Amino acid sequence: MEEKKESKGLISWLEKRINLFELFSIISSFGLFYSELDSKKPLKEAIKEVLEKKVPPYARWPQILGIITILLFFFQVLTGILLAFYYVPSINESYERVKFIIRDTDFGWFIHQIHFWGSNFLIIILIIRVMRFFYHGVYKSPRELLWIFGIALLVLSVIQAFLGGILLMDENKFWSSIRSIEIIKNIPVLNWIYLFFLGGYDINQQTIIRAYFFHVTLLPILFLFFLYLNISGIRKLGLSEIPWETKKRKEIPFYPHHFFNLLILLFIIFGVLVTFAVLFPTPFYKPADPSFTPPGILPGWYFLPIYGFFELFFKIIPKLILGFICILIFSLILFLPFIDRKEVRTFKERILAIFIGVIFLILIGLFTFFGIHKEISLSITNIF
Amino acid sequence: MTEKRRNFLEILAKGFISLWGVGIIWILFSYIKTPKRKFEENLIKIDDVSSIPITGSSIYHYKDKSIILIRKEEKEFLAFSAICTHLKCILNYQKEREVLVCPCHAGVFDMNGNVVSGPPPKSLQRYRVDIRGNRLYVYFD
């Protein structure tokens, strides 16, 4: 209790000297507070008001995914800063520096693993989030932009994972990145963008410096920007109701109920990350030898469906057309809110849309399978 | 009774959270702190440099490293790894041509450590030299 009094005193002391309202409104834009502060009142009262305000029970299924994205991004930024303490983007030195981080620093391996698993979970969570947006029809008017921001976040996190893989320079990640680059090479438009930003399809000094620069500065800022757009959009429009849930949910006060829900969520995410980092560490192999391709290396798992798609069809259909099909599908997904403009959101009225979605998911799963088991897809293509 | 129990639970929860906090902060600090430079292990100390003649050279072995120290002028010293980057032979200094030559396969390095001719794939590692009076230190950073 005494601590609280002190901190309150400190807040009012600070309030006279700096503009705390601005600070708190920034925090609220990134999802910590759920309503705007009343700038006419003293900050202490305004915060108390915000804390006591009833919020819909956010931290429950299925609206939980946005806040998980924020927390995971926070973990990624933190561990990324820590890794940048020792990393050097250089074709000759990178491997040694990563080895130094993993082997010679205290807990370096742990931070590296958390960064690796955090990036994978971020992609998985964002995929699930996009899937839920589709299933609950969240992309319908007036939330079209939320869908696009969601896709943008997903694409950014995939790019981040890909660029981060280039930086390691061990055998596995190096060749897996080369595989990913080969996929990018086959997709029109995307390969122009890739060439514009990274220069060439091989991995050299220039690639590493540029990949590092984008990985640590430009793309996190872009991610943060889209996160801000996403959350401010949710603040404006309110949380999307689940269309077939008739019963209204109980509202809970922000503090302590919701706050502690968030805290529990933070601990669960951290626990899951630690568990995976310790039990399923990503291996770090010997340095990459650009003149020797080890057998059986796959691209990053997020590229596997496209990889399988190409493996299955490249003998029958020209690669350019396959690439254009990929671009077409991506644009269909991206502009879905402007294609499916009916305002119905209940399950029964959207059976066709759900059906198409399920078929799409099955196809993705199938292509991933063919991407992993190359020999099966090869034996199938040999039939033709 | 219930109040006591609630107090106990609250203390327990706070204790757990602060334990986590301490653990995380400990991990962060032990990772961030600058790794200690082990100076004693990372340098060769040569007590009397007057034993090397001007335009002469000398080879020193230290753990898995070998170093060739070249005296160009009275106070100008160069230190290179004496191990050829090709097949790990020990290099010789040729003062007439001012180059390092590998006796095994005739690889030649210039006075910047770069490959002039022959099979070596990489240039030589050059080391920092510090002269203090008659003493000389070669640092491996």
More confident call, A14 vs A213 = A213
- Contacting residues of A for B31, CB less than 8 Å apart: 82, 85, 105-108, 111
Chain B contact for A260 (CB, 8 A cutoff): no
Average pLDDT over residues A302-308: 94
Chain B contact for A93 (CB, 8 A cutoff): no
Chain B residue with minimal CA distance to A104? Answer: B35
CB contact under 8 A, B31 and A267: no
- What is the model's pLDDT at position A59? 46
User: Residue A111 is nearest to which of B20, B31, B35, comparing CB atoms?
Assistant: B31
- Contacting residues of A for B32, CB less than 8 Å apart: 82, 85
Distance CA A207, CA A174 (A): 12
Distance CA A148, CA A139 (A): 8
Chain B contact for A106 (CB, 8 A cutoff): yes
Chain B contact for A308 (CB, 8 A cutoff): no
Average pLDDT over residues A245-273: 80
- What is the model's pLDDT at position A3? 44
pLDDT level of residue A5 (50, 70, 90 thresholds): very low
Please check the confidence at residue A259 and state whether its pLDDT lies above 60. Answer: yes
Q: What is the per-residue DSSP string for A249-264?
A: PPPEEIIIIIHHHHHH
More confident call, A146 vs A25 = A146
- What is the model's pLDDT at position A28? 72
- What is the model's pLDDT at position A13? 81
More confident call, A361 vs A341 = A361
Q: Which two tokens stand for residue B121?
A: 């794939």
- What is the model's pLDDT at position B134? 78
- Contacting residues of A for B30, CB less than 8 Å apart: 106-107
Chain B contact for A227 (CB, 8 A cutoff): no
Exposure pattern of A294-317 as b/e (b: 16+ CB <10 Å)? eeeebbbbbbbbbbbbbbbbeeee
User: Residue B31 is nearest to which of A107, A263, A267, comparing CB atoms?
Assistant: A107
Please check the confidence at residue A4 and state whether its pLDDT lies above 50. Answer: no
- What is the model's pLDDT at position A217? 94
CB contact under 8 A, A82 and B35: no
User: Residue B31 is nearest to which of A106, A263, A267, comparing CB atoms?
Assistant: A106
**Min Cα separation B20/chain A (Å):** 9
Instruction: Report yes or no: A195 and A203 within 8 Å, Cβ to Cβ.
Output: no
Please check the confidence at residue A266 and state whether its pLDDT lies above 90. Answer: no
Chain B residue with minimal CA distance to A81? Answer: B32
Average pLDDT over residues A139-149: 90
pLDDT tens digit sequence for A166-180 = 999 999 999 999 999
More confident call, A210 vs A31 = A210
Please check the confidence at residue A247 and state whether its pLDDT lies above 70. Answer: no
Distance CA A165, CA A273 (A): 19
Only one residue has tokens 């002190």, namely: A6
- Contacting residues of B for A85, CB less than 8 Å apart: 31-32
**Min Cα separation A108/chain B (Å):** 6
Q: Which residues contact B69 (CB under 8 A, 6 or more apart)?
A: B46, B52, B57, B58, B59, B60, B77, B78, B79, B129, B136, B138
Tally C-beta pairs within 8 A across A and B. Answer: 20
- What is the model's pLDDT at position A178? 93
CB contact under 8 A, A106 and B20: no
The torsion of the CA quartet A205, A211, A214, A220, rounded to 10 degrees, works out to -140
The torsion of the CA quartet A50, A53, A56, A59, rounded to 10 degrees, works out to 50
Chain A contact for B32 (CB, 8 A cutoff): yes
pTM score, whole prediction: 0.78
pLDDT tens digit sequence for A51-91 = 777 776 554 566 788 888 999 999 999 999 999 999 999 98
Chain A contact for B29 (CB, 8 A cutoff): no
Distance CA A72, CA A265 (A): 11
pLDDT tens digit sequence for A27-40 = 777 766 666 666 67
Chain A contact for B16 (CB, 8 A cutoff): no
Chain B contact for A108 (CB, 8 A cutoff): yes
- Most confident of the ranges A115-119, A345-349, B104-108: A115-119
pLDDT tens digit sequence for B83-103 = 888 888 888 888 888 888 888
User: Residue A108 is nearest to which of B17, B20, B31, comparing CB atoms?
Assistant: B31
ipTM for the whole complex: 0.73
- Most confident of the ranges A212-226, A310-324, A330-344, B15-29: A212-226
- What is the model's pLDDT at position A8? 59
Please check the confidence at residue A332 and state whether its pLDDT lies above 80. Answer: yes
- What is the model's pLDDT at position A37? 66
Average pLDDT over residues B99-114: 88
* Cis peptide, bond prior to residue A142, ω within 30 of zero: yes
**Min Cα separation A80/chain B (Å):** 12
User: Residue B31 is nearest to which of A82, A263, A267, comparing CB atoms?
Assistant: A82
Chain A contact for B34 (CB, 8 A cutoff): no
pLDDT tens digit sequence for B20-77 = 899 989 999 998 887 765 545 677 787 777 788 888 888 888 777 888 888 888 788 8
- Contacting residues of B for A108, CB less than 8 Å apart: 31
Chain A contact for B31 (CB, 8 A cutoff): yes
Instruction: Report yes or no: A54 and A257 within 8 Å, Cβ to Cβ.
Output: no
Exposure pattern of B14-38 as b/e (b: 16+ CB <10 Å)? eeeeeeeeeeeeeeeeebeeeeeee
